[in-house]
Amino acid sequence: MKQPHYVVANHGAIVNIASRTTARLDLALKRLPSGTLSQNIDVRSASEVENFFDSQPPWDHVILTGSSTQVGSVKNLPLDQAHDGMQSKFWGAYYVGRNAKINKGGSLTFVSGVYAQRPNINAVLQGALNATVEGLMRGLALELAPQGIRVNAVSPSTTHTPLWDRLGEEGREIKFASMREKLPTAQIVAPDDIAHAILYLATNPSATGSTVLVDCGDALV
């Protein structure tokens, strides 16, 4: 099972990975080609995102996958957690769109989620956040087009990533089994599948303003 940065690195890119936790970054670095860079960043902070891009040369391709949001019904999810989800997923994307320095011919790819198309009663916030990311992406595709920069999004359904570790092993397997039963493909999304969609969007000169669903048919059922 490979995360997007492994697949991108295997295509010859020099990759710089960034998130909040050094230990996680170090673990990822051990599995990436030598020369891969890493840096701590919290995308909820406008100044951290600005400093991050100010300290780097321009990029060919920027991919934002990092966010952290809590699930819960609109009635019961504490408001501070809902606000934090917005800060992470929407404002993180906004700050990256505002500050990323990208070369002409390059691209910016966000990750949204299928709940933008098909709301989930237990994750109404996630659906709304994913829709804001896709709206931001389409607007930025127009705004950055004169600079020769394309902007897109990949929209996953349930994907086998560490996100689901919070359910514990048993809870995660129950969740995945119920999804496999429901989905037209009878399987859930693998991180590789997301990575390949990101690569497609980053390398296809005709792709801008696009949301690519990688959802095993989840939006249909």
Ligand X SMILES: NC(=O)c1ccc[n+]([C@@H]2O[C@H](COP(=O)([O-])OP(=O)(O)OC[C@H]3O[C@@H](n4cnc5c(N)ncnc54)[C@H](OP(=O)(O)O)[C@@H]3O)[C@@H](O)[C@H]2O)c1
Closest CA to 46 of 99, 106, 102, 113: 99
Measured from the CB of residue 67, what is the shortest distance to ligand X in angstroms?
A: 4
Q: Which of 6, 32, 38, 44 binds ligand X (CB under 6 A)?
A: 44
Q: Which of 36, 38, 67, 109 binds ligand X (CB under 6 A)?
A: 67
Stretch that binds ligand X, among 8-16, 155-163, 179-187, 203-211 (CB under 6 A): 155-163
- DSSP class of residue 188 equals P
Measured from the CB of residue 115, what is the shortest distance to ligand X in angstroms?
A: 7
Q: Which of 7, 32, 77, 111 binds ligand X (CB under 6 A)?
A: 111
Strand order in the sheet with 150-156: 59-64, 102-111, 150-156, 211-214
Residue 38 or 206 with smaller CB distance to ligand X: 38
Q: How far apart are CA 167 and CA 149, in angstroms?
A: 39
31 binds ligand X (CB under 6 A): no
Residues 86-105 that bind ligand X (CB under 6 A): 88-89, 92
**Number of amino acids touching ligand X (CB under 6 A):** 23
Stretch that binds ligand X, among 144-152, 153-161, 176-184, 198-206 (CB under 6 A): 153-161
Q: Residue 117: helix, strand or coil by DSSP?
A: coil
Name the amino acid, one letter, at 142. Answer: L
Residue 105 or 191 with smaller CB distance to ligand X: 191
The rounded Cα 22 to chain-centroid distance in angstroms is 19
Q: How far apart are CA 114 and CA 157, in angstroms?
A: 5
Q: Which of 15, 38, 63, 66 binds ligand X (CB under 6 A)?
A: 66
Task: Say how many Å lie between the first and final Cα of the chain, rounded.
Answer: 26
Q: How far apart are CA 187 and CA 77, in angstroms?
A: 30
Binding site for ligand X (CB under 6 A): 19-21, 24, 41-44, 65-68, 88-89, 92, 111, 113, 156, 158-159, 161-163
